[in-house]
């Protein structure tokens, strides 16, 4: 039997991957914090770390569609009359722990595990991937820091450390005796 993820869970995964939110920021979102249109969207983080706020553009069409689908389906869920964007099955705001458990399950289903057999997908992994993808696409570190809600560039630079493959490719540029 094929598992079909909940519309809510698909929206969470795509939103985290394409916005780089911290899990605490994700679960604090309210309905009005993710305005969408056919061509663009944004995520308004009102409860960032240190109570900072920021706006992250949501340009990926699949992420916007997943969010729009969740918002439509959410109307039939218990708690739909509350402001919380992501609800649990009882109608309460989804917790950090519930998101992390969902991601652990997703990793286990996809057999994405670390060398110790533990799930290798987490909210932080998605956030790290967001920062890494931006920097590898040539986005400057100041912009990446702003999008991720970092006050210090040193924090952002940790997300952009070269991999072993990056270092091998760099050394391959050296002249050889051949």
* Residue 7: Cβ within 10 Å count: 16
Among residues 40, 49, 97, 118, the one annotated as catalytic is 49
Among residues 8, 18, 64, 159, the one annotated as catalytic is 159
- Concerning whether 150 is annotated as a catalytic residue, the answer is yes
- Concerning whether 8 is annotated as a catalytic residue, the answer is no
Among residues 97, 124, 136, 158, the one annotated as catalytic is 124
Among residues 8, 14, 22, 64, the one annotated as catalytic is 22
- Concerning whether 71 is annotated as a catalytic residue, the answer is no
- Concerning whether 127 is annotated as a catalytic residue, the answer is yes
Distance of alpha carbon 54 from alpha carbon 64, whole angstroms: 18
- Concerning whether 3 is annotated as a catalytic residue, the answer is no
- Concerning whether 49 is annotated as a catalytic residue, the answer is yes
Active site residues: 22, 49, 124, 127, 150, 159
């Amino acid at each position: 039997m094929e598992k079909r993820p909940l519309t809510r869970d698909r929206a969470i995964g795509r939103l985290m991957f394409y916005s780089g939110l911290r899990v605490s920021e994700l679960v604090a979102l309210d309905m009005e914090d993710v305005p969408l249109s056919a061509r663009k969207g944004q995520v308004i983080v009102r409860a960032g770390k240190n109570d900072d706020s920021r706006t992250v553009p949501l340009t990926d069409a699949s992420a916007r569609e997943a969010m729009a689908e969740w918002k439509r389906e959410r109307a039939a869920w218990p708690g739909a009359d509350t402001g919380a964007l992501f609800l649990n099955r009882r109608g309460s705001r989804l917790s950090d722990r519930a998101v992390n458990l969902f991601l652990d399950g997703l990793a286990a289903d996809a057999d994405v595990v670390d060398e110790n057999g533990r799930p290798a997908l987490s909210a932080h992994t998605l956030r790290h991937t967001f920062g890494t993808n931006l920097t590898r696409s040539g986005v400057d570190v100041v912009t990446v820091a702003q999008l991720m809600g970092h006050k210090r560039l040193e924090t952002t630079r940790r997300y952009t450390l070269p991999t072993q493959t990056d270092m091998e490719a760099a050394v391959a540029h050296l002249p050889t005796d051949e």
